Amino acid sequence: MNSSSKILGLVAIAAAACFFLSACERKAATPTTAVTPVAKHEHHAPHGGTPVVLGDEAYHLELVLDAPAGKLQAFVLDGEMENFVRSTASSFEATVTVEGEKHTLIFQAIADSATGEKVGDTALFEAQADWLKTTPKFDAVLTSLTIRGSTFAAVPFNFPLGNDHDEPAHK
């Protein structure tokens, strides 16, 4: 092998090495597409209560139990559970099943002079029943409630889990 052949051979080897090294560098320098997790759409009940979705998230009820008093409050909230929404209803009902026995809860509109709410223009309703003092869990169906011209009927839910699949089970 003559010296020019050796030089051409070394040049070829050096060129090949540069090619492979630059290819490796390019691969390392190529940015990868990061997979960003999709943020889960969640609602947070402002009073820490049970969320009940009405319609296709048009509104929510937030149910808050005061067991010692045997009282269940229902706050009417917007679709994001951020703002109170007043209803013209004077009351609404839910049929509750506890250990196979049916009960009717009648939620009465609550007036609040501090907020200017009155019966027929309020976001707060309350139901009273002695069995609520000892019953932390039950299944129920909201019979019917009209909010701003939309009627929501036969809405099933569980207490304390609710029916809002976006809300993390917190109880």
Which residue type, as a one-letter code, is found at position 130? D
Residue 33 has what pLDDT?
Answer: 52
What 3-state class would DSSP assign to 135? coil
Distance set, CA 96 to CA 47, 54, 87, 132, 169 (Å): 22, 17, 22, 11, 20
36 part of a folded domain: no
Spans of the chain, pLDDT less than 50: 7-8, 10-11, 14, 16-21, 23-32, 38-41, 167-171
Residue 48 has what pLDDT?
Answer: 84
Split into its structural domains, the chain has a count of 1
Give the up-direction half-sphere exposure of residue 7: CA atoms within 13 A in the CB hemisphere. Answer: 3
In angstroms, the CA 142 to CA 111 distance is 22
Distance of CA 46 to the CA centre of its chain: 12
154 part of a folded domain: yes
Residue 115 has what pLDDT?
Answer: 82
CB neighbours (10 Å) of residue 117?
Answer: 17
In angstroms, the CA 36 to CA 63 distance is 35
124 part of a folded domain: yes
Residue 166 has what pLDDT?
Answer: 56
Residue 37 has what pLDDT?
Answer: 54
142 part of a folded domain: yes
DSSP string, 95-129: EEEETTEEEEEEEEE--BTTTTBBTTBBSEEEEE-
Residue 42 has what pLDDT?
Answer: 59
- Residue 66 belongs to a domain with what CATH number? 2.60.40
Residue 2 has what pLDDT?
Answer: 56
Q: Domain range spanning residue 134?
A: 50-159
Mean of pLDDT over the chain:
81
